[in-house]
Amino acid sequence: MKNFFKSNVNHLIKSIDWQNIFSQIVQKIFIIVILTIGILIIKKIGKIIIDHAYKKYEKKHANDVTDKRIKTFYTLSLNIFQYCMWFLWIYSILTALGFPIGTLVASAGIFSLVIGLGAQGLVNDILGGFFIILEHQIAVGDFVLINGISGTISYIGIRTTQIIGIDGSQNYIPNRLILTISNMSRNNMVAIIQIRVFPESPIEKINSIIKNVNDENISNYKDIIAPPNIIGLISLQDGSLVYQVNITTKNGAQGNVQHKFLALYLDALQKNNISLPNSPIILNQNN
C-alpha cells in the first residue's frame, strides 16, 4: 500500500509541467511589475498636471477665490486621483491574474459581501466629505474644534479630514464621525480673559486699573478691532469669582491678544498690591 501511494505521488509529480508553471509565474510577475511601473508613472504625471493646473488657477483667480479654498480643492483633487490610481492598479493586477472582475462586480452576492465588510462606512465617509466641501464648512488652513480636537485643518479628503492639533499632533478623523464643527476662522473672534479674585477684593480699584491698562495699550495692537468690553465680576459654576474682560480681535489674533493683555493686567494688579487667589488665571481653551 505504501509503495502504491509513493508510486502514484511520483507519477503525479512527473506529470506536472513544471517548466510551464514556472514560465507562467515569471510571466505574471513580469506583468505585475510592468503594470505597477506604469501606474507609478501615470500617478507622477497626474500629480504634475494637477500641480500645474492649480498654480495656473491660483494666479488667474487670485482675487476671486480665497487661498484656503484653492488649497482645499487641491488636496481633495489629489486625494480622489490617488484613490482612482489605487483602484486602477488593483483592477489591472486582478485582471492580469485572470480573475473575472466583471462577473464578480456584477454578482449581487459579492456586492452584499462588500457592503457587509465595511463599504457602508466608506460610503458614509465619502458623503460626509462631499457635504463638508459643498457647504463650505471648513477649508485647509482653518482653525477649528472637531470632536474635542482643536487645531488647524491640514487636509480634507473624501474619506478623512486631518487636523494638526495645538500640541503639534496629526489627527485623522473619518468624515462620517464629524458631527459638529466649530470653525474659528470665519468671523472676528473674542479674546476672553478671566482673572480669579477674592470676594473681598476692591472691585472698583481693579476696574480702574484694568481701564488704565486698556487705555495705555490698545492702540499698540492693530489686531484689536473694538474697544475692550469689561464684563466685570461674574461667578463660575464652581462658585469662584472672576473678573472678565472681552476683547474683539481679527480672526486668528485672539490667542496672542489674550496672553499679552493677561500679562499686562496681572503686572498692573501686582504693582498696585492687589492680592489674587492661587492659580488666578483662566484662559479660553479654544484659543
Quick one: pLDDT band at residue 155, thresholds 50, 70, 90?
Answer: confident
Q: What is the identity of the amino acid at 36?
A: T
Which of residues 280 and 22 earns the better pLDDT score? 22
Q: What is the pLDDT of residue 7?
A: 60
Task: Report which DSSP code applies to 195.
Answer: E
SS3 237: coil
Q: What is the pLDDT of residue 285?
A: 46
Q: What is the pLDDT of residue 269?
A: 92
Taking the C-alpha atoms of 50, 55, 61 and 64 in order, what is their torsion angle to the nearest 10 degrees?
80
Instruction: Write the CATH number of the domain with boundaries 107-186.
Output: 2.30.30.60
Q: Give the highest mean pLDDT range of 49-63, 99-113, 145-159.
A: 145-159
Does the pLDDT of residue 281 top 60, yes or no?
no
Instruction: Write the CATH number of the domain with boundaries 189-283.
Output: 3.30.70.100
Mean pLDDT of 266-270: 92
Does the pLDDT of residue 18 top 70, yes or no?
no
Strands 181-183 and 189-197: unpaired
> pTM for the whole thing?
0.53
Quick one: pLDDT band at residue 287, thresholds 50, 70, 90?
Answer: very low
Q: What is the pLDDT of residues 195-247, one digit of tens each?
A: 999 888 899 999 999 999 999 999 888 889 889 999 988 888 877 889 999 99
R_g over Cα of the chain:
32
The domain limits of the chain are 2-100, 107-186, 189-283
Mean pLDDT score across all residues of the chain = 80
Q: Which fold has domain 2-100?
A: Helix Hairpins (1.10.287)
- Cα separation values, 14 from 8, 19, 107, 153, 241, Å: 10, 11, 39, 64, 92
Pick from 146, 140, 119: which is nearest to 77 by CA? Answer: 140
